[in-house]
Amino acid sequence: MLVHVEVQGEAAAGFPARMFVYNHRIRDAHAVPVASLAVLADADAGFRPGRFSDALWGCVIDFRFPVAKLLDWSTPERWAALEASDNVFALVVMAQIRAKASKDAETLRAWKFRLIRLMYDRGYARKTILELFRIIDWMIRLPAAAEAAFREDLYTFEESKQMPYMTSVERAGIEKGLEQGKQIGYRDGEADLLLWLIEKKFGADAVERVRQRIDAADSDTLRRWSERILSADSLEALFG
């Protein structure tokens, strides 16, 4: 037997048909019974697909599949059960629910910190905490200012618990990674803009001639070329 688990993050009208297609293709490829299960991680309380049916000339398809709706766990009683659970995946479910429930940065920051604290309070091993932290950090995204405040709260909390799992080296690595990601994004944007300007001024053929050179250039060089293109009358003049 095989188990097919589909996690659906947004409401989609074609989801039941997709579940049927996946189930059929898996069964066809492996020739064994297949159980298809759906985990609905969306924020639409009315989205509860669990059946795909179709009929033509007496030929009938009636495909039904079990559904777990994460939003159902947001009620006070079931939320309390999640908080009391020692299953590490309960924290992941809680993070997903809170990430979908609010767009307010401060509300999300408070919940993110509360969920991270639960890991420490439960006495999870350092490796488990770091792995769960990466997942929750990815699920609950915060604006830069709120993220910086959250991390300061986290580091202060770790010091008070004498559990410095997010060490200074890891902190530096995370912050460096975030900064490098921003810089890469800026550089790529500058390169795309310059290529577009070159195409408009010198034609599509010119873009292919200089693409490799632009891809290899750093951000400062790209900005210098972008300024120079305003007055350059040829590629030779542009690149000096």
Among 71, 102, 131, the domain boundary falls at 71
- Residues 53 and 7 reside in one and the same domain: yes
pTM assigned to the model: 0.60
pLDDT in tens, 33-89: 999 999 998 888 899 999 999 999 999 999 999 999 999 998 889 999 988 888 888
Return the structure tokens found at 158.
């770790």
> Could you give the CA distance from residue 179 to residue 93 in angstroms, rounded to a whole number?
29
Check residue 5 and give its pLDDT. Answer: 94
Question: Which of residues 72 and 197 earns the better pLDDT score?
Answer: 72
Instruction: Please indicate, yes or no, if residue 171 is contained in any of the structural domains.
Output: no
Domain count, the chain: 3
pLDDT above 90 as % of the chain: 30
Check residue 201 and give its pLDDT. Answer: 84
Check residue 169 and give its pLDDT. Answer: 39
Cβ neighbours of residue 151 under 8 Å, at least 6 residues apart? 166, 171
CA 144 to chain centre: 16
pLDDT above 70 as % of the chain: 90
Smallest Cα–Cα separation from 70: which of 83, 59, 80, 79? Answer: 79
Q: What range defines the domain where residue 193 resides? A: 181-239
Check residue 205 and give its pLDDT. Answer: 87
pLDDT grade, residue 174 (50/70/90)? low
Q: Look at residue 130 and tell me whether its pLDDT is greater than 90.
A: no
- Residues 87 and 46 reside in one and the same domain: no
Q: Look at residue 180 and tell me whether its pLDDT is greater than 60.
A: no
Q: Look at residue 168 and tell me whether its pLDDT is greater than 80.
A: no
